[in-house]
């Protein structure tokens, strides 16, 4: 709080405060304590010379900033129509004041371009319930909308001032998809650092400047960021408010580049969100390692965690979860059948089967070091003759018998009889396989369809009308790049595209050797109805995170992984939220008549059927599998076959539970092991009953499910109604998720309120700043010329989008969800659409335009003055002073905020009431205010300001008890836990790593505790009209 003598702050200034530094006025956007008593203040220029300039001040260099004492607030009459300026200012203060740490209800459920579904709100609800740090593993199965759940949580963190600096790490193919979702649905612009984006940004920022300090919200691929030589130094000194790591199951290998990166980021962020449809790889130590990234103290025994230790940090639902199934009815078409397509092997293929059966698979040696190679060789052939050739060629090279020059490619001339013979039977067999592969390829090049799978695929694709003149699309998966490249070369002509150029446009090949930007382009094209792509041939890299369902509901497995997990991941690309057609799955099953041959019927067809059954019963195959890594599953099958187990037993051995029995009993119960529970639905509902027994310290238990109730502010502090942080709790019909009903000055409906706020802001700012934006409002649509300082805020978006939509010159916005959804649909569906990015953008609660207007309103109206509004004397017979009081923590974030209406200030006991939506209506403050009563003198009102400030401070002193009880007490309990944990000897930690983690956790808790003096602001004065 400023002291009366110097007007200097004794603590960090909250966001929205106007301070004076270097003889200029600045609007505080954020403040952090960098060391005890020293603060870093981020601010935007407010006075004329520095207006719009962004700066950072260290109090050790510039001193503590001067603030305008609230007692000296100057009152001015609001002469605007309907008191628009006053309502603009109040709305801007409300928007720029973060929700306090004590507030854990959701605030933005109506602020995004989404169909509200409670199950997608649960991750945010669960993460915010953690009084220390919002950290969560979102383990929902493929297709439920984890990206949307992440966006909702990020939005809630931003509304709380805990999302200023965000880093999102995803696989390369989904970079643009994720960036697109964050912007179009959540109004959250992220700068994309893919290979092209990095080059562009390096040209833009100063030489040697760290891009992670230059840009506050970044999305980058894991494979790019894990390059320690390039990014390690830049990341070391950067702290984040929130880090998101998508497909986090890729972090399990301790000591890997990915894991080292994740451990660094976990230390340097407040909120941490891990997302994976397969978070558990079957090895408990690996899984608890992921959990310890979220909270090092969570799990005591890494090999044997308790459900109660995991419950507050993990949430996993499946398609058959009750809440999910109810919400998705009508929004996600039921899954179609998984059908095999039989393919009878041709003559040359039968010769390959005979060679493999006789020399590799009939009596494999289980003691050989490379004992599984026969099955690798078999699977390569079940993919294609070209994959077989490459596998055999590599094996020959490893045996010291590399193919001679001129014969290293399948398209090269065949070997001579002498060259195709060796004294080693193994080498001779491999040479025979390479030559058979050449024969198949040469026959195919001559025009004959010599592979049964190719003939069946062409027939099926023609049957569903994939070809010239049809809009039908399909995706074909294969495990091998050689197969994909071959299919990409032969399919266009076989499906009817006569011109090579047309075939290249219609058939795209995507695998790990294709650059990240090209992969994103292909995914974008495949999702747009107006693009030429009809067939996407992809490897299993696209089975993680990539959305392929927008224009496609046909998926073909050219070859099948011997893994239930991988098949489910593939199917999930088109079987996901938003799919409007029944997704159909087909698998090409190669059949052989060679005695003893292991064809696709042996394993692949059984895996296909088993995945469909498990998915039907449990909604996720991981809930039933013994392994939770596709590679381990394949190895398990191969080892079983090597032991001469019947193929049906080898596939059945992938399951840890009897799925058919579970179907009768109603699914997994709490009696199942924790590992099995975390692979099914987990983290929903109440925490397990043993939770309290797991917490150290019987007198200071730390309750992660703390339910904050502020209805007990205290009778000495306020008259009823007692203040509840930022409005009363509200819920929608049939929903048990509590939400914040925030104050709104233009309309009770959030969407309408935003529209009127932006419209009024543009009108009034045009008068105050004398700019001309050629603003056009038509219904719920808005367009205006883009000011330079607003264009700067949007410069992080993709250059192509900014250029195509001319955003730097003119904004096209809509406040209608229906219109915005139509704009998104047009981008996908219109034949002339060249991009998935919409032409009109939805203005959500976090939109940069709303932020820009709020900043400008506070600059123009918020400097040492408060507006006087005249209201009906029947509702306010005496003046009412509206004030704001804020208790903050060491990071400058509010722990408790009070919005107060104070009257009867000339009486011995003034009345203090919480400013609620109901009280606003009672006082007549809103869109229907009359233009004016006759303005009166301000002298008498001015005398009330210091009294109102004093009453606000007195009230805040009483509320500090609430902050102590609801914020500080749980943190002190957590600090005790840290101390106890520091003394324990736990596996997985050395003393130094444990002490380092304990220090970090204790510091995080200390930073969140209420500190300093409260900030008081006089917002407005209501004067009884004459």
Domains along the chain with CATH numbers = 1-67 (2.30.30), 71-103+708-746+760-768+841-1026 (no CATH), 118-316 (3.40.50.10810), 338-342+451-679 (3.40.50.300), 347-445 (no CATH)
Q: How confident is the model at residue 618 (pLDDT cuts 50, 70, 90)?
A: confident
Q: What is the mean pLDDT of residues 10-30?
A: 76
What's the pLDDT at 671? 62
CB 568 within 8 A of CB 575: no
What's the pLDDT at 6? 43
Q: Give the torsion sign (CA, 248, 250, 254, 257).
A: negative
Residue owning tokens 């760290």: 210
**pTM tops 0.85, yes or no:** no
Burial class of residue 772 (count of CB atoms within 10 Å of its CB; 0-12, 13-18, 19+): exposed
Residue owning tokens 């009209």: 1025
Nearest to 349 by CA among 449, 480, 490, 476: 449
- CA 398 and chain centroid, separation: 44
Residues 6+ apart with CB under 8 A from 1: 9, 10, 11, 953, 1012, 1013, 1014, 1015, 1016
Of the listed ranges 283-287, 459-463, 687-691, the one predicted with least confidence: 687-691
Q: Taking the CB of residue 943, how many other CB atoms lie within 10 A of it? A: 11
Residue owning tokens 């893919």: 194
- CA 912 and chain centroid, separation: 42
Query: Is the pLDDT reported for residue 406 higher than 80?
Result: yes
Q: In what order do the strands lie in the sheet with 880-889?
A: 74-77, 865-871, 1010-1024, 880-889, 894-903, 911-914
Query: Is the pLDDT reported for residue 723 higher than 60?
Result: no
Q: Say how far apart CA 28 and CA 41 lie, in whole Å.
A: 7
Query: Is the pLDDT reported for residue 398 higher than 50?
Result: yes
Of the listed ranges 409-418, 731-740, 836-845, 856-865, the one predicted with least confidence: 731-740
Residues 6+ apart with CB under 8 A from 775: 762, 763, 766, 782, 783, 784
Give percent above pLDDT 90 in the chain. 53
CB 608 within 8 A of CB 557: yes
pLDDT in tens, 73-126: 999 999 999 999 999 999 999 999 999 998 999 999 999 999 899 999 999 999
Q: Give the torsion sign (CA, 407, 412, 415, 416).
A: negative
What's the pLDDT at 769? 86
From residue 139, alpha-carbon distances to 120, 180, 279, 291 in Å are 12, 22, 6, 12
- Looking at per-residue pLDDT, the higher value among 686 and 646 belongs to 646
CB 634 within 8 A of CB 563: yes
And the tokens for 572?
A: 């999930």
Q: Taking the CB of residue 983, how many other CB atoms lie within 10 A of it? A: 9
pLDDT in tens, 293-315: 999 888 888 888 888 889 999 99
Of the listed ranges 190-204, 334-348, 516-530, the one predicted with least confidence: 190-204
CB 858 within 8 A of CB 96: yes
Outline where DSSP puts E strands in 377-490: 474-477
Angle formed at CA 368 by CA 364 and CA 370, multiple of 5 degrees: 95
Q: What is the mean pLDDT of residues 769-782?
A: 91
Q: Say how far apart CA 497 and CA 468 lie, in whole Å.
A: 6
And the tokens for 164?
A: 């200023």
Q: How confident is the model at residue 49 (pLDDT cuts 50, 70, 90)?
A: low
- CA 267 and chain centroid, separation: 19
And the tokens for 432?
A: 């025979």
What's the pLDDT at 16? 60
Q: What is the mean pLDDT of residues 213-238?
A: 87
CB 729 within 8 A of CB 817: no
And the tokens for 206?
A: 């100063």
Q: What is the DSSP secondary structure assignment for residue 964, as one 8-state letter?
A: I
- Looking at per-residue pLDDT, the higher value among 630 and 468 belongs to 468
Supply the angle between the helices 257-267 and 228-236 in degrees, to the nearest 10: 10
Query: Is the pLDDT reported for residue 886 higher than 80?
Result: yes
Q: Is 752 helix (H, G, I), strand (E, B) or coil?
A: helix
Strands 781-785 and 1010-1024: unpaired
SS3 per residue for 219-276: EEEHHHHCCHHHHHHHHHCCCEEEEEEECHHHHCCCCCHHHHHHHHHHHCEEEEEEEC
Q: Is 57 helix (H, G, I), strand (E, B) or coil?
A: strand
Give percent above pLDDT 70 in the chain. 91
Helix-strand-coil split of the chain, %, nearest 5 = 40, 15, 40
474 sits in which H/E element: strand 474-477
And the tokens for 1012?
A: 């300093």
Q: What is the DSSP secondary structure assignment for residue 692, as one 8-state letter?
A: G
Strands 554-557 and 240-246: unpaired
What's the pLDDT at 4? 41
Residue owning tokens 């509590």: 738
Q: What is the mean pLDDT of residues 223-230?
A: 84
Query: Is the pLDDT reported for residue 273 higher than 50?
Result: yes
Helix residue ranges, H only, 63-194: 84-96, 118-128, 146-159, 175-186
Query: Is the pLDDT reported for residue 201 higher than 80?
Result: no
Nearest to 527 by CA among 571, 490, 573: 573
Q: Say how far apart CA 955 and CA 880 lie, in whole Å.
A: 16
SS3 per residue for 972-1002: HHHHHHHHHHHHCCCCCCCHHHHHHHHHHHH
**Cα(first)–Cα(last) distance of the chain, in Å?**
36
Q: Is the peptide bond before 721 cis (omega within 30 degrees of 0)?
A: yes
Q: Say how far apart CA 858 and CA 44 lie, in whole Å.
A: 11
What's the pLDDT at 481? 95
What's the pLDDT at 3? 46
Q: In what order do the strands lie in the sheet with 338-344?
A: 338-344, 584-591, 554-557, 474-477, 535-538, 507-510
Q: How confident is the model at residue 973 (pLDDT cuts 50, 70, 90)?
A: confident
- Give phi and psi for 587, each to the nearest 5: -135, 130
Burial class of residue 866 (count of CB atoms within 10 Å of its CB; 0-12, 13-18, 19+): buried
Q: What is the mean pLDDT of residues 154-161?
A: 96
Ramachandran class of 714: left when φ > 0, alpha when ψ lies in -120 to 50, beta otherwise: left
What's the pLDDT at 833? 80
- Looking at per-residue pLDDT, the higher value among 33 and 346 belongs to 346
Query: Is the pLDDT reported for residue 631 higher than 50?
Result: yes
Q: What is the DSSP secondary structure assignment for residue 968, as one 8-state letter?
A: I
Q: What is the mean pLDDT of the chain?
A: 86
- β-sheet bridge partners, residue 54: 44
Q: Say how far apart CA 349 and CA 353 lie, in whole Å.
A: 6
Supply the angle between the helices 604-618 and 564-571 in degrees, to the nearest 10: 70
Q: In what order do the strands lie in the sheet with 217-221?
A: 191-192, 217-221, 166-170, 240-246, 269-275, 135-138, 314-315
And the tokens for 484?
A: 């994909």
659 sits in which H/E element: helix 659-665
Strands 166-170 and 240-246: parallel
Q: Taking the CB of residue 829, how many other CB atoms lie within 10 A of it? A: 14
SS3 per residue for 847-916: CHHHHHHHHHHHHHHCCCEEEEEEECCCCCCCCEEEEEEEEEECCCCEEEEEEEEEECCCCCCCEEEECC
Residue owning tokens 């070859």: 559
Q: What is the mean pLDDT of residues 542-559?
A: 87
Residues 6+ apart with CB under 8 A from 538: 475, 476, 477, 478, 484, 509, 510, 511
Query: Is the pLDDT reported for residue 62 higher than 50?
Result: yes
And the tokens for 768?
A: 């105050």
Supply the angle between the helices 425-445 and 385-398 in degrees, to the nearest 10: 150
Query: Is the pLDDT reported for residue 434 higher than 80?
Result: yes
What's the pLDDT at 945? 98
Of the listed ranges 8-17, 710-719, 948-957, 1006-1015, the one predicted with least confidence: 710-719
What's the pLDDT at 2? 45
Query: Is the pLDDT reported for residue 932 higher than 80?
Result: no
Give the side-chain half-sphere CA count within 13 A for 47.
11
Q: Is 811 helix (H, G, I), strand (E, B) or coil?
A: strand
pLDDT in tens, 482-525: 999 999 999 999 999 999 999 999 999 999 888 888 888 898 89
CB 320 within 8 A of CB 140: no
């Amino acid at each position: 709080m400023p002291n009366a003598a110097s007007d200097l702050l004794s603590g960090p200034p909250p966001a929205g405060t106007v301070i004076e530094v270097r003889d200029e006025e600045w609007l505080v956007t954020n403040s952090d304590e960098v060391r005890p008593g020293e603060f870093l203040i981020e601010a935007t220029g407010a006075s004329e010379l520095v207006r719009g300039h962004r700066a950072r001040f260290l109090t050790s260099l510039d001193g503590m900033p001067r603030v305008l004492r609230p007692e000296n607030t100057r009152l001015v009459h609001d002469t605007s129509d309907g008191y628009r300026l006053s309502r603009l200012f109040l709305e801007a203060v409300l928007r720029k004041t973060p929700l306090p740490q004590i507030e854990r209800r959701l605030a933005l459920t109506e602020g995004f371009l989404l169909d509200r579904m409670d199950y997608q709100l649960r991750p945010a609800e669960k993460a915010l319930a953690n009084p220390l740090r919002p950290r969560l593993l979102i383990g929902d199965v493929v297709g439920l909308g984890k990206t949307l759940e992440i966006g909702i949580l990020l939005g809630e963190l931003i509304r709380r001032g805990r999302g200023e600096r965000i880093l999102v790490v995803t696989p390369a193919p989904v970079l643009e998809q994720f960036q697109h979702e964050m912007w179009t649905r959540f109004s959250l612009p992220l700068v994309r650092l893919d290979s092209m984006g990095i080059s562009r940004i390096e040209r833009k920022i100063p030489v040697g400047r760290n891009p992670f300090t230059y840009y506050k919200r970044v999305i980058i691929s894991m494979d790019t960021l894990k390059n320690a030589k390039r990014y390690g130094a830049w990341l070391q000194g950067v702290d984040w408010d929130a880090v998101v790591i998508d497909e986090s199951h890729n972090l399990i290998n301790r000591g890997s580049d990915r894991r080292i990166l994740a451990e660094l980021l976990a230390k340097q962020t407040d909120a941490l969100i891990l997302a994976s449809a397969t978070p558990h790889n079957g090895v408990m130590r690996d899984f608890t390692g992921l959990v310890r990234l979220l909270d090092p103290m969570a799990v005591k025994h890494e090999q044997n965690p308790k459900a109660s230790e995991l419950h507050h940090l993990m949430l996993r639902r499946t398609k058959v979860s009750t809440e999910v199934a109810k919400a998705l009815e009508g929004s996600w078409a039921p899954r179609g059948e998984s059908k095999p397509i039989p393919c009878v092997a041709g003559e040359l293929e039968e010769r390959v089967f005979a060679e493999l059966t006789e020399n590799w698979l009939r009596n494999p040696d289980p003691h050989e070091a490379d004992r599984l190679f026969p099955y690798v060789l078999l699977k390569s052939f079940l993919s294609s003759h070209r994959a077989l050739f490459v596998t055999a060629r590599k094996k020959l090279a490893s045996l010291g018998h590399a193919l001679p020059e001129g014969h290293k490619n399948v398209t090269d001339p065949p070997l001579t009889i002498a060259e195709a013979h060796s004294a080693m039977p193994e080498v001779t067999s491999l040479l025979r396989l390479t030559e058979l592969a050449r024969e198949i390829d040469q026959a195919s090049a001559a025009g004959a369809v010599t592979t049964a799978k190719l003939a069946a695929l062409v027939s099926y694709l023609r049957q569903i009308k994939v070809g010239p003149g049809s809009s039908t699309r399909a995706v074909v998966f294969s495990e091998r790049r050689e197969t994909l490249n071959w299919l990409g070369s032969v399919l266009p002509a076989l499906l009817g595209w006569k011109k090579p150029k047309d075939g290249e446009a219609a058939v795209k090949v995507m695998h790990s050797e294709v650059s990240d930007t090209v992969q994103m382009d292909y995914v974008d094209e495949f999702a747009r109805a107006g693009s030429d792509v009809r067939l996407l041939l992809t490897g299993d890299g696209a089975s993680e995170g990539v959305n392929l369902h927008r224009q496609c509901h046909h998926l073909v497995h050219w070859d099948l992984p011997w893994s239930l997990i991988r098949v489910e991941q593939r199917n999930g690309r088109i079987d996901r939220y938003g799919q409007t057609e029944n997704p159909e799955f087909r698998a090409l099953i190669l059949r052989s008549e060679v005695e003893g041959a292991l064809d696709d019927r042996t394993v692949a067809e059984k895996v296909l059927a088993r995945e469909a059954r498990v998915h039907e019963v449990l909604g996720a195959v991981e809930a039933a599998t013994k392994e939770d890594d596709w590679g381990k599953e394949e190895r398990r099958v191969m080892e079983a076959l090597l032991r001469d187990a019947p193929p049906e037993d080898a596939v059945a051995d992938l399951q840890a539970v009897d799925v058919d029995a579970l179907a009768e009993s109603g699914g997994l119960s709490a009696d199942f092991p924790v590992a099995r529970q975390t692979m099914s639905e987990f983290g929903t509902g109440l925490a397990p009953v043993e939770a309290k027994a797991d917490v150290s310290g019987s007198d200071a238990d730390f309750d992660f499910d703390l339910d904050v109730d502020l209805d007990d502010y205290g009778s000495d502090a306020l008259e009823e109604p007692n203040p509840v942080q930022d409005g009363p709790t509200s819920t929608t019909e049939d929903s048990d998720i509590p939400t914040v009903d925030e104050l709104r000055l233009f309309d009770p409906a959030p969407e309408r309120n935003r529209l009127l706020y932006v419209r009024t802001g543009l009108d009034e700012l045009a008068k105050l700043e004398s700019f001309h934006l050629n603003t056009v409002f038509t219904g719920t649509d808005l367009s205006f010329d883009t000011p330079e300082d607003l264009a700067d805020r949007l410069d992080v978006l993709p250059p192509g989008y900014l250029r195509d939509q001319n955003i730097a010159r003119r904004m096209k916005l809509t406040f209608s969800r229906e219109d915005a959804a139509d704009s998104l649909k047009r981008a996908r569906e219109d034949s002339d659409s060249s991009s998935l990015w919409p032409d009109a953008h939805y203005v959500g609660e976090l939109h940069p335009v709303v932020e820009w207007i709020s900043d400008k309103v506070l600059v123009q109206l918020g400097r040492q003055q408060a507006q006087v509004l005249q209201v009906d004397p029947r509702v306010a017979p005496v003046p009412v002073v509206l004030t704001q009081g804020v208790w903050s923590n060491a990071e400058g974030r509010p722990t408790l905020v009070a919005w107060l209406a104070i009257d009867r200030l000339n009486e011995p006991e003034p009345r203090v009431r919480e400013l609620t939506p109901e009280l606003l209506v009672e006082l007549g403050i809103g869109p229907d205010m009359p233009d004016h009563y006759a303005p009166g003198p301000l002298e008498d009102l001015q005398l009330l300001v210091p009294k109102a400030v004093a009453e606000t401070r007195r009230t805040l002193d009483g509320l500090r008890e609430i902050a102590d009880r609801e914020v500080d007490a749980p943190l002190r309990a957590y600090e005790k836990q840290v101390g106890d944990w520091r003394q324990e000897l736990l596996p997985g930690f050395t003393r130094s790593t444990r002490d380092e983690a304990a220090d970090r956790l204790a510091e995080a808790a200390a930073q969140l505790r209420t500190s300093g003096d409260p900030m008081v602001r006089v917002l407005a004065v209501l004067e009884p009209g004459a």
